[in-house]
Amino acid sequence: MKPERAEGATGAPSSDDRESTEGRSEAVSPDSAVRTVTVGDGRRVAYAEYGATDAATDATPVAFLHGTPGSHVLGELYDEAARRRGVRLLAIERPGYGDSTPRPDPSPTDTDYLRAVLDDAGVSRVGVVAFSGGAAHALAFAATCGERVTEIDLVSGATPPSLRDETPVTIRLLGALAAKTPRLLTGLLGVQTWLAKRGPPSVVVGQYTADADEIPDEAAEIVREDFVRALDSHREGMVSESEQAVREWEFALTDVETPVRLWHGDRDENVPVAGARRLAETLPTAGVTVFEGEDHLSTLLRSRSRILDRHAGVDSDE
């Protein structure tokens, strides 16, 4: 297991970390740029490409898994930084989000949609970056299809209940509603989506950070758009993943032989850092970097360049 690293909040972040979104690419933002793949049973899986999007080049392929809820739109936060490093980012919408068809009784171990996207993109092996609720899916993919995964980065990654000191109140509430009154939760998510469409980005951003005013405007707008796209068409993905969030994961962490890096903020209230440290200790080959003074969303912004440096094989300060 790799040792834990700590970064102070006053450390100098690189030019594509927290301060900027590195600009927005009009070439990949429109929904017309979203590709749809059909899985064997007829379900659709949607994804979009960011960064070095020319499949004919020798770009480094990286799959990006959004949070809960989420969509391919969040991958735009990595776009310019990925392009400059020659990283081809495949931002995938999990079943029940955006344009991806819901799946009855889904589980993180159902990884056929990930394989379908990689096959469609012509990628045999891929690095994986997963934010928040995408962590279980990234690790399950490595546990069940390790031959297709080179390395994993978990950013503010969710942890299994057994490794938490206590499950945050919001997660417990969503889990209870999903299990007992899923129709009520679906309705509440519809109201929240309506408000997110019409309100300022802080309506959404405030769910992921206590310092919404410090998030750059372009990044905040991307987070808002990501939330709206995730839930605008259907909410089954959010309902099913909310129920799963309070259950133990359906695979063994010891089956994950792929190298894993965790990036976490010590002020993260959505996923407290103690659980992330225990997850790193439990995984066979993992290390954790803790950012002092950062929370759930700010860690996502702060870690971008370092993560992409690693996948691109670029020397960095760590």
Domains, the chain, in order of start with CATH, read 5-312 (3.40.50.1820)
- C-alpha span between 130 and 159 (Å, rounded): 12
* Residue in this structure with the two tokens 């390790």, named with its chain if needed: 146
More confident residue, 111 or 106: 111
Dihedral angle computed from the Cα positions of residues 206, 210, 216 and 220, in that order, rounded to the nearest 10 degrees: -20
pLDDT category at 214 given cuts 50, 70, 90 is very high
pLDDT category at 1 given cuts 50, 70, 90 is low
pLDDT category at 106 given cuts 50, 70, 90 is confident
- C-alpha span between 206 and 64 (Å, rounded): 23
DSSP label of 281: H
> What is the percentage of the chain residues whose pLDDT exceeds 70?
88
Q: Which of 18-32, 134-148, 260-274 has the lowest mean pLDDT?
A: 18-32
Q: Residue 245 phi/psi, 5° resolution?
A: -65, -20
- Mean pLDDT over the full length of the chain: 91
How high is the pLDDT of residue 74?
Answer: 98
How high is the pLDDT of residue 2?
Answer: 54
Determine contact, residues 48/34, Cβ cutoff 8 Å: yes
- C-alpha span between 150 and 127 (Å, rounded): 5
Is pLDDT above 60 for 32? no
More confident residue, 232 or 13: 232
pLDDT category at 147 given cuts 50, 70, 90 is very high
How high is the pLDDT of residue 22?
Answer: 45
As a whole number, mean pLDDT of residues 221-243 equals: 97
Determine contact, residues 39/113, Cβ cutoff 8 Å: yes
How high is the pLDDT of residue 12?
Answer: 45
Determine contact, residues 111/141, Cβ cutoff 8 Å: yes
How high is the pLDDT of residue 17?
Answer: 60
As a whole number, mean pLDDT of residues 84-105 equals: 95
Q: What is the pLDDT of residues 278-299, one digit of tens each?
A: 999 999 999 999 999 999 999 9
More confident residue, 30 or 99: 99
